[in-house]
Amino acid sequence: MEAAPVPDGQYTAVVYGLIVGGRCAEAVSLLSRELQRSCRSRGGLSLLGYCHYQLQDFAAAAECYEQLVALHPELDAYRLYLAQALYKAGFYTEALRAVSPLLDLPAYQGRVLRLQAAIHYAQGDLPAAKSLVEEALAAAADGGPGAAENPSERADAEINLGCLLYRQGRHEEASSKFAGAMQVLGYSPELSYNMALCCYAAKQYAPALKHISDIIERGINQHPELSVGMTTEGIDVRSVGNTMLLHRTALVEAFNLKAAIEYQLHNLKAAQEALTDMPPRAEEELDPVTLHNQALMNMDSQPTEGFEKLQFLLLQNPCPPETFGNLLLLYCKHQYYDLAADVLAENAHLTYKLLTPYLYNFLDAIITCQTSPEEAFYKLDDSAGMMTEQLRKLMKQVQEARQNWDDEAVKRAVNEYDETLDKYVAVLMAQAKIYWDMKNYAMVEKIFRKSVEFCNDHEVWKLNVAHVLFMQDNKYKEAISFYEPVVKKHYDNILDVSAIVLANLCVSYILTNQNEDAEELMKKIEQGEEQMSYNSPDKNTYHFCIINLVIGTLYCVKGNYDFGITRVIKSLEPYNKKLSTDTWYYAKRCFLSLLENMSKHMIMLCDNVIEECIQFLKQCELYGRNIPAVIEQPLEEKRLHSGKNTVTYEARLLRALMYKITGWTP
């Protein structure tokens, strides 16, 4: 931001006025211009370094303090400021080198010990950090040369100890340290955030959200200028920038943690809203954690941008430690196995630092599966075997804790058991997918049967068992026994159940002559959609449509095209609400099958059904102009022609084929 010209004799007053008013960006512009004329000005460099620090441009602040240390080596304070700026900028080795001469100076010893501890903590060297924190505490207690000058410095050392306890997994002890420090210092948003983080790590989401709510409420009341929630409401507001004021409110951290909690609870919309509720900043001003969370929580709707953000973060130092693992998992999810292998190979130094042995082995097996499915299966089997033993041990711990009436131990053991079970299910599904892709459904069923001891109550496991039974033509009754409990669990909110689960259950009812049950379920779904349409008129729901599509497809597969195609056509009415990329995918498969069989003279259709088909395709042409026929993969270099990748284009092609095969004229 360009500063206005300053009248003669008022330079100092104007600069300090800008700084006091929080307009540090303007002060930087003014000071930079002045320093071009007098580059050795101590006052100018000092103020410029301070302003850069307030704007969290720590690299630029470090440059200013480096010049001041060179110009005034006798002033030790500048050396400390230099070390702090280097630490904040992520230059840990340089920060340690800059601060070490101050360790022998009594006036600085306490602050130097705490800064060194923070640097080692950031580097992941917890033993060194703990030793320095304890040294600072001991010096304060002894009243020696590094003794704390006031209670706040003692509280600061306690906070550092709390951070160490957090990293060691001792979350309750860490939280009590932060609470103790808050009693000394008064309410602090940063300490409240630390306590929320401890609760989050211990999976105590309710108290974590209470701390977060306190931070947000105080931030809104005390600093309305930070425009909290304006972006979510659709109000276009200016960026508030990365000021120290924003940092002290801990609002960014609180909203990121809230988003993480909602994401863990599978409330994706609430997680996305938490990210847009935070004070507005330009994309280039976003911190790494916010950028990471934006990528992760908008991956379904904006996969290309999500991959770009995660790839960018991986090149930064430091970056959120979860970035590496999440990028690899997302590559595998989107079937970019070569890219995942390349990232693993190029970042070998991060593999052992940021990936757990479980995650590394899992990713290694998934990538290996593309070239050697058999080898991948055995790798996954080894992981499954280890987790089976772990689950049995944890089950025993839960039983022993219950016998000893130790509620805390029960809670810890159950949480650990659930986490391990989720990992085990992921490995199991990866094993099953190998045989699923081969269409060897009997082997998939065998894999699932072996895991019944642990997974009997796991919903993901039950659904996948149901799917594999459904795919074996003679096991529809068994499939029903697995689908029904899942559907009944959500019966009051039937639309919370996946459409394909409901469709498969309906088909299973029909194929086992339980038509009344199928009709009752479909009626319930139709009522749910009507209620949804009443409550949210602009929201499209596809459950009933997809069920009819699946039933129509079933009849087409059985050769009853007259009924099957008619069912498919009816399922997409009204077209402005039901026609989408997914529903068109199912519909066009039935039409292609119909046209293939007609061209081979294997079936004959009634004229009225042919007329119905032509009218349907005309309607798809009309309503499908802006609907992609295929969702393109996010990282594909060669893009489909925008005019051809529409439902309209494909519907016109199908209509032309229909005319050609039937001999009808348009």
Peptide bond into 634 cis (omega under 30): no
CA 296, 297, 299, 305 torsion: positive or negative? negative
d(CA 497, CA 491): 9
Backbone φ and ψ of 404, nearest 5°: -90, 5
What is the predicted pLDDT for the residue at 147?
45
Q: Which is nearest to 553 in space by CA: 520, 504, 516, 599?
A: 504
What is the predicted pLDDT for the residue at 146?
44
d(CA 50, CA 57): 10
Q: Could you give the residue ranges of the DSSP H alpha helices within 186-297?
A: 189-201, 205-222, 244-249, 251-264, 268-277, 288-297
CB 651 within 8 A of CB 627: no
- Could you identify the residue written with the tokens 């309410």? 187
What is the predicted pLDDT for the residue at 145?
47
Read off the pTM.
Answer: 0.82
Contacts of 129 (CB under 8 A, 6+ apart): 117, 118, 120, 121, 160, 164
The tokens describing 200, both together, are 């989050």
d(CA 152, CA 245): 20
Q: Which residue type sits at 558?
A: K
Q: Which residue type sits at 122?
A: A
Averages of pLDDT over runs of 10 residues in the chain (666 residues) are 59 82 83 79 88 88 92 91 92 91 84 89 88 78 52 80 90 93 92 95 93 95 89 82 86 96 93 93 90 93 91 87 94 92 91 91 94 94 93 91 85 89 94 94 93 89 94 91 92 90 92 91 91 84 90 90 93 90 92 93 90 94 91 70 86 94 85
Orientation of helix 76-88 relative to helix 58-71, angle to 10°: 160
- Whole-number Cα distances in Å, 219 to 23, 212, 283, 285: 20, 11, 22, 20
Q: Which is nearest to 257 in space by CA: 208, 294, 191, 306?
A: 208
CB 242 within 8 A of CB 291: no
- For 629, which DSSP code? S
d(CA 392, CA 111): 49
